[in-house]
Amino acid sequence: MRIQLCEHFDYKKLLRFVFPSVAMMVFGSIYGIVDGLFVSNIVGKTPFAALNLIYPFIAVLSALGFMIGAGGNAIVSKTLGEGEKEKANQYFSMLIYVSIVLGILIAVLGISVIRPVSILLGAEGEEMIENCVIYGTIIFAGIPFFMLQNAFQIFFITAERPNYGFYVTVAAGCGNMVLDWLFMAVFEWGIAGAALATISSQFIGAVIPTVYFLRKNNSSLLRLGKGPFVWKVFWKTCTNGSSEFVSNVSGNVVAMLYNFQLMRFAGENGVAAYGVLLYANWIFVAILFGYVTGAAPIIGYHFGAQNHAELKNLFKKSMVIMTVSGAVLGGLTIVLADALSGIFVGYDPVLFEMTKRSIFISAFAFIFIGINIFGSGFFTALNNGLVSAVVAFLRTVVFQVATVMILPEIWEIDGIWWSMVVSEILAFLIAAGCLIKFRKKYHYA
């Protein structure tokens, strides 16, 4: 039975509504990880390190897609809550068209600077540099599809069709996995095969939703049509989604800094180990992001409708869910550290031990990550982009940069792994403080 945004949510209904979003995020993370798995085990350690070295730069330029999706979702869901469906559709259409234009501009920029950036990030030797350039060039060519895919995943939830978003993600993910095997294991195209498989899956994830939302009888709350550019709405979208933009940009800029430090203390092995650590974290962090993404339209809707009782209900239940989930995921990370390391780098004993230790230490950060992610996403849903951005910026830039620069000088490579935990503890203090400070203004507690 279809669940509507305007309903009252108990735990069962809330989890049912957000489940497709969680599954969509997890599955999306898994099929992204498959690239690394195939590259590491089929193509080799150097291409795997190259992929992990250049990917943060790619993610920085493509973060605008997350900003438009999250920020626009807050506006569209709030407008629906105010009862203005036609205006909500105009905003939705405008933001999709803006995503296409920005995607093309980013693709051109990224391809033009990929080689010098690879060298700047620390790529050493002709083989590693060429792998960075090949992978980056192909991936940037597919950025317009990637941005559309991310925007549509979020808008499917606002359209009260979260299951459709999940089905599209599964279709795109399965396509990526099959093509990874075909291009790398059968055709032996190396790292280029990984990139071609990725952009092919992104094409699927962009085109299917476009066709769906263009249909006049798509049976959802949203439909692509005329979307005249409204500067005020675009600016509000950018400010609302600034926390997601900051999180993605700064998180990947920090990843570049981590790679730089790891090249200092452990060389190519350190970068490869960090890549596996990120893959392991992606799976579990995706669960937390999936919940926040799924719950945000509900929060935005009831905020727009001024339904304070339901806003309090959603806040209380979300805090419980995120606290419990963070503790459980931290425990699972510790239990699975050995297995996750073995899957990716079991062929190299030294790299295996380094990777397992990095996963084990970083697992303690999950105790705090859930509340930190929810705190930022909650204020985005309330259309308060400034507070959301401050929480995100401190968490993903200030605290991580400070800890990754200071702690390795004390504990060497272990200091790099512990910096993730310490930065999340500091971010938790800020997120909790903001949630307490604004509780009366927004009537959620």
Q: Is the pTM of this model over 0.75?
A: no
Whole-number mean pLDDT of the chain?
Answer: 88
Q: How far apart are CA 316 and CA 246, in angstroms?
A: 26
Q: What is the CA angle 53-248-98, rounded to 5?
A: 115
CB atoms within 10 A of CB 20: 21
Q: Are 151 and 207 in contact (CB under 8 A)?
A: no
Cβ burial, residue 336 (10 Å; 0-12/13-18/19+): middle
The rounded percent of the chain whose pLDDT value lies above 70 is 98
CA 113 → CA 52, 120, 143, 158, 252, distances in Å? 17, 11, 15, 36, 17
**Phi, psi torsion values for 121, nearest 5 degrees:** -75, -5
Q: Are 268 and 65 in contact (CB under 8 A)?
A: no
pLDDT at site 52: 79
Give the tens place of pLDDT for each residue, 385-428.
889 888 888 888 899 999 999 999 999 889 999 999 999 999 99
Give the chain's length. Answer: 445
213 contact partners, CB below 8 Å, separation of at least 6: 96, 152, 155, 159, 220, 222, 223, 224
pLDDT at site 1: 59
pLDDT at site 101: 92
**Phi, psi torsion values for 391, nearest 5 degrees:** -60, -45
Q: Strands, DSSP E only, in 125-246?
A: none
Q: State the helix-helix crossing angle for 385-393 and 242-265, rounded to 10 degrees.
A: 10
The per-residue DSSP string of 267-314 comes to THHHHHHHHHHHHHHHHHHHHHHHHHHHHHHHHHHHHHTT-HHHHHHH
360: amino acid identity, one letter: F
Only one residue has tokens 């200071």, namely 406
pLDDT at site 243: 66
232: amino acid identity, one letter: K
427 contact partners, CB below 8 Å, separation of at least 6: 368, 372, 391, 394, 395, 399
Q: Are 94 and 227 in contact (CB under 8 A)?
A: yes
Q: Are 287 and 26 in contact (CB under 8 A)?
A: yes
Q: How far apart are CA 434 and CA 440, in angstroms?
A: 11
- Structure tokens that stand for 137 in this block: 């060039």
CB atoms within 10 A of CB 185: 14
pLDDT at site 32: 66
Give the tens place of pLDDT for each residue, 93-102.
999 999 999 9
pLDDT at site 415: 93
CA 136 → CA 116, 139, 196, 263, 322, distances in Å? 12, 5, 11, 20, 35
pLDDT at site 100: 92
- Structure tokens that stand for 120 in this block: 């700047």
- Structure tokens that stand for 168 in this block: 């599209």
Q: Which residues of the chain have pLDDT under 50?
A: none
CB atoms within 10 A of CB 309: 10
pLDDT at site 153: 83
Q: Are 123 and 129 in contact (CB under 8 A)?
A: yes
SS3 assignment, position 4? coil
**Phi, psi torsion values for 376, nearest 5 degrees:** -65, -45
Q: How far apart are CA 266 and CA 273, in angstroms?
A: 10
Q: Are 21 and 293 in contact (CB under 8 A)?
A: yes
